[in-house]
């Protein structure tokens, strides 16, 4: 009965919700959350009465190997719970949310999933995942060492409407990677945190001005990306996509406009960046010593390692201050689905993924994301494949601003990328583009009721 109820809920609302931004009302979310609580008790009794329980864990297909390794490690410690990993092909969090929603509506219900900030709020608002506050209270003594090691700012991102929906597992921010070889070629000192936008532009212009007009080397390259590009520069400029409670667009706010206009000016005024449709990838330019700066999260550490780019040839630094010294953050978690029949078993896997013991010994073996547990992050930052200032990754939690990801995230991202792209292609001014995006985004938010 519960599966049928959830399928109807998803078919009516969620198929559009994650991608087109048509969300359920708060009342609908509360009803579903109550159903999830009922399922929790039902799932608990089933899990307790079965010698072996199989749970399904879903996430990005291109991360399936990593998920499989995590599942194997868990199962080596818990022979009573089997974890089946299902990788879903998707190019964005919006696509992943849509695919999961379609699967649930068709009766293919996961128990637990790897979902970042960009999807958690949508599923929580629709009642598709359950709050875990009762689990946290029950297991607080067991989890004390782990919870003491997780920055409170990260835990806060896991909350919606006063309830906690998952534990942080890993997270990411955006820093600037700089190529030491390029800077040394032009006798430029390495930048330090607290530097300004004027410092950044001066360095980038120095790098690009001595190439006989051919721009063999660029100061900074970026793509049309929500988390990697647009939001970080809005935030350091004092703006953001939405207001603090994510109920209204801020795209026409002067500070927000200043952030995206700056990106336009990098290309057309300062001539330090290639056009976003130029067909050049920042990582490719960087490893060829043709780029001074690129913006990325910790995943680029692993990408550079895989590209055999020497760790001593690059480092990381905070984005330059335009108006505010802040950093965008996005946090991953493993929420439990309301329609799951094995919620207790799913909770055991969720606890494992965030546990200090697991993160200290397993998550630190690669550089794809920042561990939620501070000791693990410190261990990772000290690895020989990590740059000298890798400690800046975890430190940014203290000044982190959650990437705007309400239940309309899919629509907001799509609209903003379309309009930003139009402005960068000189099809309209940045002011016109942001005004158009704001009108559409506010209309989507208004559908909450």
The domain spans of the chain are: 2-169+331-382, 175-329+404-446
Q: At 348, is the pLDDT very low, low, confident or very high (cuts 50, 70, 90)?
A: very high
Cβ partners under 8 Å of residue 33, min gap 6: 127, 130, 131, 163, 338
| Whether pLDDT at 22 is above 90 | no
Average pLDDT, the chain: 87
Cα torsion 398, 328, 299, 314 to 10°: value is -80
- Rounded Cα distance, 61 and 275, in Å: 30
| Whether pLDDT at 32 is above 60 | no
pLDDT score for 17: 34
- Rounded Cα distance, 12 and 139, in Å: 36
Tokens of 253: 């706010």
Q: Of 173-182, 303-312, 360-369, 426-435, which gets the smallest average pLDDT?
A: 360-369
Q: At 364, is the pLDDT very low, low, confident or very high (cuts 50, 70, 90)?
A: confident
Residue with tokens 């996509």: 241
| Whether pLDDT at 16 is above 80 | no
**Residue 445 near residue 159 (C-beta atoms within 8 A):** no
- The domain defined by 175-329+404-446 carries CATH number 3.40.190.10: yes
Per-position DSSP letters for 129-192, written without gaps between them: B---HHHHHHTTTTTHHHHHTB-HHHHHTTEETTEE---EEEEEE-EEEEEHHHHHHTTPPPP-
pLDDT score for 51: 64
**Residue 113 near residue 335 (C-beta atoms within 8 A):** yes
Q: Of 23-37, 258-272, 420-434, which gets the smallest average pLDDT?
A: 23-37
- Mean pLDDT in residue range 407-426: 94
| Whether pLDDT at 13 is above 60 | no
pLDDT tens digits, 93-146: 778 888 998 999 999 999 999 998 878 888 998 899 999 999 999 999 999 999
pLDDT score for 45: 42
pLDDT score for 259: 99
* Residue among 314, 333, 340, 336 nearest 372 (CA): 333
- Mean pLDDT in residue range 424-429: 98
| Whether pLDDT at 168 is above 90 | yes
Q: Taking the model in full, what pTM does it have?
A: 0.84
- Rounded Cα distance, 392 and 278, in Å: 31
Distances from the Cα of 439 to the Cαs of 21, 25, 239, 262, in angstroms? 14, 21, 17, 22
| Whether pLDDT at 39 is above 50 | no
pLDDT tens digits, 216-249: 899 999 999 999 999 999 999 999 999 999 999 9
For the domain spanning 2-169+331-382, the CATH number is: 3.40.190.10
Sign of the Cα pseudo-torsion (229, 169, 65, 411, in order)? negative
pLDDT score for 92: 78
- Rounded Cα distance, 65 and 318, in Å: 31
Do 2-169+331-382 and 175-329+404-446 have matching folds? yes
């Amino acid at each position: 009965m519960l599966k049928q109820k959830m399928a109807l809920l998803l078919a009516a609302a969620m198929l559009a919700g994650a991608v087109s931004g048509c969300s359920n009302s708060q009342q609908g979310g509360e009803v579903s959350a109550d159903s999830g609580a009922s399922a929790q008790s039902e799932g608990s009794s089933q899990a307790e009465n079965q010698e072996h329980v199989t749970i399904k864990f879903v996430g990005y297909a291109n991360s399936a190997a990593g998920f499989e390794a995590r599942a194997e490690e868990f199962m080596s410690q818990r022979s009573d719970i089997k974890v089946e990993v299902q990788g879903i092909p998707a190019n964005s969090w919006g696509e992943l949310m849509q695919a999961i929603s379609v699967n649930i509506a068709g009766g293919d219900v996961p128990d637990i999933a790897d979902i970042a900030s960009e999807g958690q709020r949508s599923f929580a608002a629709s009642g598709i995942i359950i709050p875990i506050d009762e689990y946290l209270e029950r297991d607080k003594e067991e989890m004390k060492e782990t919870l003491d090691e997780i920055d409170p700012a990260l835990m806060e991102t896991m909350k919606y409407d006063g309830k906690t929906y998952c534990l942080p597992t890993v997270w990411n921010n955006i820093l600037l990677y700089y190529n030491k070889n390029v800077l040394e070629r032009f006798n430029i000192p390495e930048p330090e945190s607290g530097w300004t936008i004027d410092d950044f532009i001066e360095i980038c212009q120095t790098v690009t001005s001595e190439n006989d007009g051919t721009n063999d080397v660029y100061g900074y390259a970026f793509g049309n990306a929500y988390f990697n590009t647009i939001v970080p520069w809005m935030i350091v400029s004092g703006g953001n996509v939405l207001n603090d409670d994510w109920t209204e667009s801020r795209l026409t706010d002067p500070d927000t406009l200043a952030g995206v206009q700056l990106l336009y000016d990098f290309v057309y005024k300062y001539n330090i960046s290639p056009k976003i449709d130029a067909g050049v990838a920042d990582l490719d330019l960087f490893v060829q010593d043709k780029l001074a700066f690129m913006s990325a999260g910790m995943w680029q550490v692993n990408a550079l390692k895989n590209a055999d780019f020497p760790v001593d040839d690059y480092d990381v630094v905070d984005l330059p201050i335009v108006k505010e010294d802040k950093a965008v953050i996005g946090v991953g978690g493993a929420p439990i689905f309301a329609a799951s029949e094995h919620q207790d078993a799913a909770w055991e896997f969720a606890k494992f993924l965030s546990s200090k013991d697991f993160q200290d010994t397993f998550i630190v073996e690669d550089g794809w994301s920042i561990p939620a547990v501070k000791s693990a992050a410190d261990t990772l930052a000290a690895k020989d494949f990590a740059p000298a200032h890798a400690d800046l990754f975890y430190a940014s939690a203290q000044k982190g601003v959650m990437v705007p990801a309400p239940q309309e995230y899919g629509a907001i991202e799509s609209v903003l990328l379309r309009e930003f792209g139009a402005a960068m292609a000189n099809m309209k001014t940045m002011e016109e583009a942001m005004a158009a995006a704001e009108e559409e985004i506010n209309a989507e938010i208004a559908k909450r009721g």
